[in-house]
Amino acid sequence: MSKTNAGRFFEDYSVGQVIRHAVPRTVAEGERALYHALYPARHALYSSDAFAIACGLDSSPLDDLIAFHTVFGKTVPDISLNALANLGYAEGRWLAPVWPGDTLRAVSEVIGLKQNSNGKSGVVWVRTSGLNQVDEPVLDYVRWVMVRKRDADAPAPETVKPDLAEAVPADALVVPEGLDFGAYDFGLAGEPHRWGDYQIGEKIDHVDGVTIEEAEHMLATRLWQNTAKVHFDATNRDDGKRLIYGGHIISMARALSFNGLANAQMIVALNGGTHANPCFAGDTVRAWSEVLDKAETGAPGVGAIRLRLVATKGDSGAFPLKGQDGRYVPEVLLDLDYWALMPL
């Protein structure tokens, strides 16, 4: 019997099944430095201990997306090794900051199953929790993927489609303990725009573009111990390109969004997200955002802003999204919906 992991197939999942993912990971200052080398990340709270301390924290936590990618990476060998597509995210919440030196692990519960009509694959919904070394949850989200069946003749499971919130309600957002934007230094943060300056419906073109190289996205994807072959093995495709991990585009777009959203400091919820089209090395990524909603939080000086973040490999100035047929236009890479915390 082979000792290697062939990954799970659709018929290996059952609703209620709990999967404890392997290989816990300690993340520290090295991961922080690499994050700054891989993405043009400049949000001050994650760049400077001094700035984070002035905002009431003990020091600068690791970027919220380091937490996300690390937890996500843990799930790949169990959830998406045989995935045909990463279909969506919902109900994601960051529950506690991740500090340098913390060790993260992940656990997922299967919460939904639906075989496709072609009988060859199906959709699996999982709720994944990221836990630190004292078993405190740091992150919780639902994602669903399309997974191949091992055997097309295997019987279809009973369809269970989870009832997912369209967005995390504002009153369910978790503000990190101690966070206080009362003495927020807009000068050091890089932009003067506060929560009150953003209007629902407002769109922001983040202007800058970054051309991606093979070495960069592979360094990033490995850093999160994401093992999906398609990202690393050029012999998978005739053109020798590797499919870029969708999370690389999330981080790139979020970092680019600094230019116009420098004060959207912390991500606290992931309402949804679609990897609309594949991205390959050589593509130049740009981003634009739209303000979807705003809410107050109980924390001093802290507002919440709900943002759509769109990454495109074309021009971002025309705010590309969907065509008249309701489908994403070919240059759109990512359509992400998240809540961030911003000074009032």
Return the range that interacts with its own copies (CB under 8 A); candidates 49-57, 149-157, 267-275, 335-343: 49-57
* Nearest-approach distance from CB 303 to its own copies, in angstroms: 16
Crossing angle, helix 246-256 and helix 214-223, to 10 degrees?
100
* Nearest-approach distance from CB 299 to its own copies, in angstroms: 22
Count of residues that interact with its own copies, criterion CB under 8 A: 75
Residues 325-344 that bind its own copies (CB under 8 A): none
Query: Quick check: 47 binds its own copies (CB under 8 A)?
Result: yes
- List the end-to-end C-alpha distance of the chain, in Å, as a whole number: 60
CA distance 243 to 130: 25
Query: Quick check: 159 binds its own copies (CB under 8 A)?
Result: no
Residues 217-236 that bind its own copies (CB under 8 A): 218-220, 222-223, 225, 227, 229, 232-235
CA angle 161, 166, 168 (to 5 degrees): 115
| CB-CB contact of 55 with 181 (8 Å) | yes
Query: Quick check: 103 binds its own copies (CB under 8 A)?
Result: yes
CA distance 304 to 295: 5
Among 29, 58, 166, 177, binds its own copies (CB under 8 A): 29
Residues 184-213 that bind its own copies (CB under 8 A): 187-191, 193, 197, 204-211, 213
Query: Quick check: 133 binds its own copies (CB under 8 A)?
Result: yes
Query: Quick check: 30 binds its own copies (CB under 8 A)?
Result: yes
* Nearest-approach distance from CB 232 to its own copies, in angstroms: 5
Q: Using CA of residue 184, residue 338, residue 229, residue 330, what is the dihedral sign?
A: negative
CA distance 327 to 177: 41
CA distance 8 to 127: 16
